[in-house]
Copies of this chain bind each other. A is one copy, B any other.
Amino acid sequence: MAMDDRKQRIMMAIVSLYSAEGEPVGSNLLCQHFDMAVSSATLRNEMAALTRLGLLEQPHTSAGRVPTAKGYRYYVDTLLQNPFTLPQRDKDALDATFRTLDYDPEKMAQGAAKALSDLLGYAVIATTPQADDMSIAHFEVLQVGRYTAAVLAVTAAGGVRTRVAKVDFELAEGDAGAIARVLNGHLRFVAEADVDSALIRRMVDSLGANGPRSWPLLSAALTLLGEVGRPNIYFEGQKHLLQWPELENSLRPLIETLDDTARMEKLLRPRSGHTTVLFGDEFPEAPAPGMCLVSRQYLAGGGLSGVIAVAGPARMPYREVIPRLEYFSELLGQGMSGMAAH
């Protein structure tokens, strides 16, 4: 029993009907919105077959059918075959939104998540761009205030990550340079795991009298060392998740999961050039039935890449969401390219 053409069309119709209404689709309703000259009885037979194939399921005996995760997977994969073309006016709208963002990697990632979430009406998760090679090629220290200095870490791939720290003595002319020399002397191409207290002691010692007092700056450098392999993750538009009745029950664990940086990083890690659709039932550890995460990698140049993902109910209008996500991720990639230059 294969997927003949009619079954495919029925599947499509059920998915889009369920997307629109949010309620199980029965044979009668389907019959009305299905312009093939065929009766509801025939549809019932076909639907029974699709159920046996695992693409549909019934919430209870006397209810209509709802697509299963497998059903959605089939729908999405089939749908993704015909390439979308986003109308120019939609692109223009996204361009305009994008142009309001700040050109700082972190602010841009967060701003993009917020903007896209308001635009689409779903929650959006975005990461800062991250290098494949996560070791730090060199550090720079820049005095930005009388007591504050920015520590910049430049990754092997050319990415930059900064962190500002404050010391409790007035920084003199050469202090920033001295600290930068120490950082570069001890921490270049060092993995986070290789940092031990002996190394730290050596660094403090080589700073002489300023050593202990400069600790906040060293600490910032060490934090960067740890962070550079881990992207920042921004989760925006949580409020949009409140409006979907089918998520209502699992809302707390769901938001908890999406808000858990470590878990989301793992979840978003497997990157490819394609748009990935992951259904909540397929989440490892904490399955979140009814929900769905559409994620897309963006390339920020110089080996840097990040992810931007839309989180919402499984019954999302993918034809709307996916092309917009893809176009936006393209903008994001372009926008961030060249930022690393310094």
Most chain B C-beta atoms within 10 Å of own C-beta, residue among A144, A166, A251, A340 = A166
Q: Are B338 and A145 in contact (CB under 8 A)?
A: yes
Q: Mark A312-342, 1 if CB is under 8 A from B, else 0.
A: 0000000000000000000000010011111
Q: A103-B166, A341-B147 are in contact. Are A252 and B256 (CB under 8 A)?
A: no
Q: Are A145 and B340 in contact (CB under 8 A)?
A: yes
Check if A269 is an interface residue, CB within 8 A of chain B: no
Q: Are A103 and B243 in contact (CB under 8 A)?
A: no
User: What is the bound-complex CA distance between A40 and B263, given in angstroms?
Assistant: 52
Distance from A341 Cβ to chain B, minimum over Cβ atoms (Å): 4
Q: Are A145 and B339 in contact (CB under 8 A)?
A: yes
Q: How large is the interface on A (under 10, 10 to 19, 20 to 34, 35 or more residues)?
A: 20 to 34
Check if A264 is an interface residue, CB within 8 A of chain B: no
Q: Are A341 and B146 in contact (CB under 8 A)?
A: yes
CB closest chain-B residue, reference A336: B166
Check if A242 is an interface residue, CB within 8 A of chain B: yes
Interface residues of A: mostly helix, strand, loop or mixed?
A: mixed
The quantity of this chain's copies bound in the complex is 2
Check if A97 is an interface residue, CB within 8 A of chain B: no
Check if A275 is an interface residue, CB within 8 A of chain B: no
User: What is the bound-complex CA distance between A251 and B259, given in angstroms?
Assistant: 18
CB closest chain-B residue, reference A163: B102
Check if A52 is an interface residue, CB within 8 A of chain B: no
Check if A214 is an interface residue, CB within 8 A of chain B: no
Q: Are B242 and A148 in contact (CB under 8 A)?
A: no
Considering only residues 71-110 of chain A, those with a C-beta below 8 Å from chain B are 102-104, 106-107
Q: Are A165 and B242 in contact (CB under 8 A)?
A: no
User: What is the bound-complex CA distance between A329 and B165, given in angstroms?
Assistant: 19
Q: Are B342 and A145 in contact (CB under 8 A)?
A: yes
Q: Are B342 and A103 in contact (CB under 8 A)?
A: no
Check if A238 is an interface residue, CB within 8 A of chain B: yes
Contacts of A120 in B (CB 8 A): none
User: What is the bound-complex CA distance between A106 and B103, given in angstroms?
Assistant: 15
Contacts of A163 in B (CB 8 A): 102-103
Check if A164 is an interface residue, CB within 8 A of chain B: yes
User: What is the bound-complex CA distance between A252 and B241, given in angstroms?
Assistant: 10
User: What is the bound-complex CA distance between A145 and B160, given in angstroms?
Assistant: 11
Q: A144-B342, A145-B339 are in contact. Are A252 and B242 (CB under 8 A)?
A: yes
Q: A102-B164, A103-B166, A335-B166 are in contact. Are A341 and B242 (CB under 8 A)?
A: no
Distance from A81 Cβ to chain B, minimum over Cβ atoms (Å): 36
Distance from A95 Cβ to chain B, minimum over Cβ atoms (Å): 13
Q: A103-B166, A104-B164, A164-B104 are in contact. Are A146 and B338 (CB under 8 A)?
A: yes
| Contact surface of A with B, Cβ cutoff 8 Å | 102-104, 106-107, 144-148, 163-166, 220, 238-239, 242-243, 251-252, 255-256, 259, 335, 338-342
